[in-house]
Structure 1
Amino acid sequence: MDGDPEGEGEGEGAGGVLGVPHGLWLGWICFLFLVVGASPAHFWLDSGEIAAAGAELGVMHPTGAPGYVPLLHLATALPFGSLGFRMALCSSACMAGALALTISILARRRVHWALLWVIGLWLPLGLTFVRHGRVVEIYAFAGLLVMATLWGFDPAVGQARRVSRRCVGVLAAVVAAWGFGDLRLALAPAVALAWVLDWRRGEPWARWAPLCVALGSAVVVSLPLAATRGPMTDWGHPESLAAIWDHVQATAIRESFAVKLHGMGLRAYALHARASLGRLLEDLGPFGVLIALAAVSFGLSRPLSALARARATKDPEAKLSRFVDDDHRLMRWLGWIAAVELVYAVAINPMGGRDRQTGLALGLVAAVALGLGVHRWLIRDGRARLGARGWVALPLLACALWIPAGLVSASDIALTRSWAPHEWTHEVLARTPQGALLLSQSDDLSAGLLAARIIEGARPDVIAQPAQHLYREPTPWQLREPRRARILRAARGADPARGDAGRLVAVFEAWEGPLAIESPATMVLGGLAVPSRDGWGEPPLWVGELPPPRDALPPGARLPSQGSGRAGELPPELRAAVERWHGRLEARGDRRRLADAMCLWIQGRFAFAPDSPLRWLEAEAGYRFVLDEVDAEHPRALIGLAAARDRFGATDEAIALTRRVLEFDPERSTALTNLALYLSREPASLGEARELAELAVELDADKRVAWNRLIQICQAQGDQACVTRAEAGASAGAS
């Protein structure tokens, strides 16, 4: 169908309610729905860092999402709610805008109002949609930019409004290309091709496009302007042209994941594709995915089918261009964006197919495709009115779309409305000694500490530093504090060949005073002595002193039993952690953080004496406690328990526990590597062990332990070529 040549065509009832377009009504409903479950503070992962950057107009991690930080800062001026809640409203507004634009694109095609409302009430039920619309994150902004680009380049836009709409589309695409790697690949080539074709046709908007590109690119200036102020959030300090380019291209992140991505193979891609499909099924429901896929397939092939039918009837005017309409042209855009997003999720995104950052754009384009496909089916007899078939089909369609998506996402409101990320950070700060060096490890705590310091001014006496970021060049703000500057300069001066261990040793040698560490494995890696009086602390924090006291035990020594329970039994620190957080972690996603912290604590404690049977008994008791009291399906705990059971001869139980992990987390390379070890002991299962080890190195080519397991199995099989290949892989930058 072709659009209205003069303006924004509207169908039967598509003019709106009380004179207000349906897109605006649905946008407001979506906004209110998201606000009800909006995060009261920062969320987990890197949400705290994004909130901190928004609060102080700083520079977040690459690509920096140029243009979004000023919006977050503007949201902090709202006169109600906490600062974190105000910035979460920015995500809600972006998501509501994306929905309104989606409905507007369909309304141009005279789609019936009932179908508009079915789709408009369906999209906000998707788990990815509702999650990103309720927390401080960047992906709602990405969704808005995608739909603004499609809205501007919609072939159904009338000639009278084409210049303004195309300019909006160019601006949105340029901002998206600077801020998001997947949208750079999806939108930049499509917009450039549209500009070249319309330039040759003499379209007026093509002359304005270079100016729009320049205006859209101006958002990049926000990065050096922010860095010049010397903020706390100043990732990469992008002041020079080279630093700005590296930041928006995410050069540091791409280099850190280069070995992992280059080592991926077909089986790893297949697993990522399966995870991507699973995420789409959660967001859209099975019927939503099937209908959208059918709509894209039929929409793209419709001109060819129509041409074949015309030629079969000996039509003398049968030409392909005659059957290409605006719906087909829009479907090309949708198909291209969906294809790029899928390839990005499966083969480029280092987080794998289960990561939700690419799912949002896919859901939005799928909704447009579904709307177009259902609309054409409803009017296939040529009637503009809905008819009896439509009034029967639409309620069934609503049930098929709303119920599966709603059932999946209904419980997420408990996670997004939780104060747990905020409380987690403040609990750590409350247990950190005065003037301590606090080395964090997880994104949850690292970002939370940054948000607490910037947004609330909490604990300026504490030197909080992510242990995994000691390799980075110190920023001007970091160098202004003498104690922080001393340890960061020491880390930068460490021998690069020694990697993270060398940097940690340098930091430990340079620091004097209290020390708090999130992961005891950090302490082990740095070869730090164990204080004999204070024990191990309580998850998620270990507290000590540098230089170590005279009565500290050397690395590898076993702690005395006093204060830490009897040898081989459940350490009381784990029980104390569960009691401390009882009733405060209601959502499963919150409890999983506690389970992670407890498992890391167990692993760190065990790593000091890995050959001690008592340590194995303590580890087994600890992992069982995590599974019984915190999270019965926690992968770290299941893998750890399996390793302990294998140590005591229960290999069959270890195999069963590890296979259980792979049932719901098939991309976890640690489970693959351990299962390969267990199976390699029997000649009959050596072949399966080889397959698992090969898959583990495809998924995590930067992990030396995966390569070592493959070497071991290839040696058992007598495959020298495989051994040579695995040894080369292990030496090619594996950690």
Structure 2
Amino acid sequence: MCLKVSPNGLAAGAIVLILSVAYACTLAPGLTWANHGSDGGDLVTAAAVLGVAHPTGYPTYVLLSRLFQSLPAGDLAYRTNLFSAFCAVFTALWVFVIVRGLLPGRDWTTTTAASIAALGFGFSPLTWSQAVITEVYSLNAWFTAVILLFLLWEGWQPSPSGASPWGGRWPARCMALVVGLSLGNHLTIALPAAVWVGWGVFHARPGQRWRDLGQRLVWVGLGSLVYLALPLCAAAHPPVNWGRADTWEGFWWVVSAQPYRELAFGLPPMFLASRVQAWATLLVQQFGWAGVAVGCTGLLYADRVLPPEGRSVRGWVWLTAAMAVLFSLFAMTYNTADSYAYLIPVSLIFAIWVGLGCAWLLKLAARWNLWGALLLAAVAFVLVAWKARATTPLVDASRDSRAATYAARVLTLAPTGAIVFTSSDRDTFSLWYAHYALGHRPDLSLVAGPLLKFAWYRENLRVTYPRLHIPERPGPNGNWREAVTEAHRRRFPICQTFLEDDDHNDDDRVIGCDASDE
């Protein structure tokens, strides 16, 4: 029997295969600092010990990555990196599905345009950089694409009478559960989640809108109960236990991201112009000048390729434009150097516009000359391939073993029973991974200096290392590190880590120690 595969199925399979190979060849082999991935050590370790990661805790990400850590391949960090690649591949696949769903007809131009959009997104530097390391942004992009697909589905589904999709239909409830789960990964997903709720209520029959709103909120709330994993995990006192979320104060401190509140919309006005310029530059870096032109064409000329009966679908396109603006405003005003990662949803939305623009141009060319349209499609695929080749060295993490090597050197050089102070995310999280997740050097006590100011962290140290005596009060000038050092100087060697590329580390030391007085 001959198995028939549609052109769309072949294209989707090719997208998955091509991106899977590209990501596999550039995937970090383990724990990595590549592509600003220093938070990876915290996330991998939290998943491995079922702990609470840095705010907002990311319970959805931690639980899902824990499943990937059970795969029989590589070490824990490598398996968690695979999770990012998996999410990125299927986000690109959703881009294909969305563009294909937007476009009418089954001719080759629509499949080609959707394929170009998916590959363009998958090979964009932002997407690719996060697909090969442990971070939450690939999963966030996946949820964003899924919610956009939900929006599109609901734009097509309502009956002429405007009946609510909640009349005993489990698919709608499942969508709401997924939206709720997405809130447990990254809070920026709250924007498309809120749009999904409002979009569905708008399409409901006027007499059912309040009921529809209530049911959506209830089922989204049920999905967001994934946050209950935080107090449950915290109650077991894992070594990675940000905020002690088993108390109400600690739970709120984590889920509301209190340490980072001042960063949101906290960019000084004097830097706003440079951020806008950086935003424009970054957009060009993702798709090239040709891609930007095609994407803008897709947004402006969407009416030329969308079906005439799809008013709600045309509204969907402009709704994505509003979402892209809001995502961009948040990213540009977030006062950190790596806020560019918040622009991945913008890149995803723009890739959809690229697909619409490609479809319009291909259909226009096909009306004049079929061979000219085929040549245009070939040029588009060549440009995507050229962009992928140019991007590879910028995002390739396959040879980056700095984090693992650093942690191994520190743990090898640390004297027996030492207290090892760390001073930044990179040294802290890489050592947490080696010490807590992999179980190396159980005789040591790791103390993250910047976290000592938090009562929850000091209490966590007391539980994790019963041999330590953590003072109740800081030393002179509020110096907690000095207080901890003085309490143990005569009992254990006291060590401090150094980063090899630190400007003040002239001899490339990774650790310096003072012997105990005993």
Same fold (TM over 0.5): yes
Q: 2:390 pairs with 387, 399, 407, which one?
A: 407
The answer to whether residue 488 in structure 2 is matched with residue 511 in structure 1 is yes
For 2:377 and 2:413, locate their aligned partners in 1 and report how far apart those are by CA, in whole Å: 57
1:264 aligned residue (253, 265, 268): 268
Matches within 5 A, 1:159-198: 159=158, 166-184=172-190, 186-198=191-203
> How does 1:588-627 map onto structure 2 within 5 Å?
none
Q: CA deviation at 1:343?
A: 0.6
User: Secondary structure of the equivalent of 2:341?
Assistant: coil
In 1, distance between residues paired with 2:412 and 2:245?
A: 34
Please state how far the C-alpha of 1:123 moved relative to its aligned partner. 2.4
Rounded to whole Å, the distance in 2 between the matches of 1:164 and 1:150 is 19
| 2:235 counterpart of 1:228 | yes
The answer to whether structure 1 residue 35 and structure 2 residue 24 are counterparts is yes
The aligned amino acid for 2:176 is V
Match of 1:441 in 2: 423
Where in structure 2 are the equivalents of 1:144-155 lying within 5 Å?
144-154=142-152
Match of 1:317 in 2: none
CA contact (8 A) 1:56 1:454 kept: yes
* 2:292 is the counterpart of 1:289: yes
Matches within 5 A, 1:245-256: 245-255=252-262
CA distance in 2, matches of 1:228, 1:133: 32
Mapping 1:51-130, distance limit 5 Å: 51-108=44-101, 109-110=103-104, 112-130=110-128
Say whether the 8 Å CA contact 1:46–1:444 is kept in structure 2.
Answer: yes
Contact 1:52–1:451, Cα closer than 8 Å, also in 2: yes
Q: Which has the higher contact order (CA 8 A, sep 6+)?
A: 2
Cα pair 1:285 1:405 within 8 Å, conserved = no
Cα distance in 1 between the residues matched to 2:68 and 2:267: 42
- Higher Rg of the two aligned structures: 1
Unaligned runs of 5+ in 2: 500-504
- Describe the superposition over 1:590-648 as per-residue Cα deviations: whole angstroms up to 9, x where unpaired: xxxxxxxxxxxxxxxxxxxxxxxxxxxxxxxxxxxxxxxxxxxxxxxxxxxxxxxxxxx
Whether the 8 Å contact between 1:272 and 1:345 is mirrored in structure 2 is no
Q: 1:356 to 1:510 in 2, by over 3 A?
A: same
Secondary structure at 1:471 match in 2: coil
Matched residue SS, 2:243: coil
Q: Which amino acid aligns with 2:438?
A: E
Preserved contact between residue 97 and residue 114 of structure 2 (Cα < 8 Å): no
- Preserved contact between residue 39 and residue 417 of structure 1 (Cα < 8 Å): yes
Shift of 1:400: 3.5
User: Any conservation in 1 of the 2:422–2:447 contact (CA below 8 Å)?
Assistant: yes
Counterpart in the other structure of 1:23: 12
- Compute the TM-score of the two structures, normalised by the length of structure 2: 0.84
Q: Say which is worse superposed, 324-333 or 369-378, in terms of deviation.
A: 324-333
User: Over aligned residues, Cα RMSD in angstroms?
Assistant: 3.4
Deviation at 1:276, TM superposition (A): 2.6
TM-superposed CA distance for 1:207, in Å, is 7.0
Confirm or deny: 8 A CA contact 1:178 1:248 kept in the other structure. no
Q: CA deviation at 1:25?
A: 4.1
Q: Within 5 A, what are the aligned runs for 1:308-327?
A: 325-327=311-313
Distance in 1 (alpha carbons) for counterparts of 2:320 and 2:90: 19
Contact 1:334–1:369 at 8 Å: present in 2 too?
A: no
State the Cα deviation string for residues 535-578 of structure 1 (Å, max 9, x = none).
9975232222456x9xxxxxxxxxxxxxxxxxxxxxxxxxxxxx
CA contact (8 A) 1:124 1:130 kept: yes
Partner of 1:426: 408
Q: Deviations over 1:178-226 (max 9, x none)?
A: 4323222x22431232133134444897675244213311211111111
Once the two structures are TM-superposed, the CA of residue 296 in structure 1 deviates from its matched residue by: 2.7
> Residue type of the partner of 2:483?
A
Q: Which amino acid aligns with 1:64?
A: G
The equivalent residue for 2:513 is 543
What's 1:395 paired with?
378
* Aligned residue in 2 for 1:662: none
Task: Tell me if 1:451 matches 2:416.
Answer: no
Change (3 A) 1:117 1:410: farther
Checking the alignment, whether the CA contact within 8 Å between 1:15 and 1:22 is kept in structure 2 is no
* Identity fraction in percent: 19
Distance of 1:134 and 1:76 partners within structure 2: 15
Q: Which amino acid aligns with 1:399?
A: V
Q: Secondary structure at the match of 1:517?
A: strand
Q: Distance in 2 between matches of 1:399 and 1:382?
A: 19
Give 2:332's aligned residue.
Answer: 346
Q: 1:458 to 1:358 in 2, by over 3 A?
A: same
Q: Residue type matched to 1:329 in 2?
A: G
Deviates more, 1:278-287 or 1:146-155: 278-287
Q: CA deviation at 1:236?
A: 0.7
Distance of 2:9 and 2:378 partners within structure 1: 24
Pick which of 283-292 and 458-467 moved more: 283-292
The 1:381–1:212 alpha-carbon spacing in structure 2 relative to 1, beyond 3 Å, is farther
What SS does the corresponding residue of 1:543 show, helix, strand or coil? strand
- 2:502 aligns to what? none
Distance 1:25 1:397 in 2: 16
How far apart are 1:169 and its partner, in Å? 4.4
- Distance in 1 (CA, whole Å) between partners of 2:116 and 2:69 is 34
In structure 2, C-alpha distance between the alignment counterparts of 1:244 and 1:377, rounded to whole Å: 52
Q: AA paired with 2:251?
A: I
Superposed, 1:701-716 pairs within 5 Å as none
C-alpha deviation, 1:403, in angstroms = 2.0
3-state SS, counterpart of residue 154 of structure 1: helix
Query: Aligned equivalents of 1:333 and 1:53: distance in 2?
Result: 36
Shift of 1:286: 2.6
Secondary structure of residue in 1 paired with 2:447: strand
Question: Does the 8 Å contact 1:170/1:191 carry over to 2?
Answer: no
1:664-683 alignment to 2 at 5 Å?
Answer: none
Conservation of the 8 A alpha-carbon contact between 1:508 and 1:546: no
User: In the TM superposition, what is the alpha-carbon distance from 1:78 to its structure 2 partner?
Assistant: 1.2
AA at the equivalent of 1:81: G
Structure 1: unaligned runs, 5 residues or longer: 1-13, 307-321, 521-534, 550-735
**Matched residue SS, 1:542:** strand
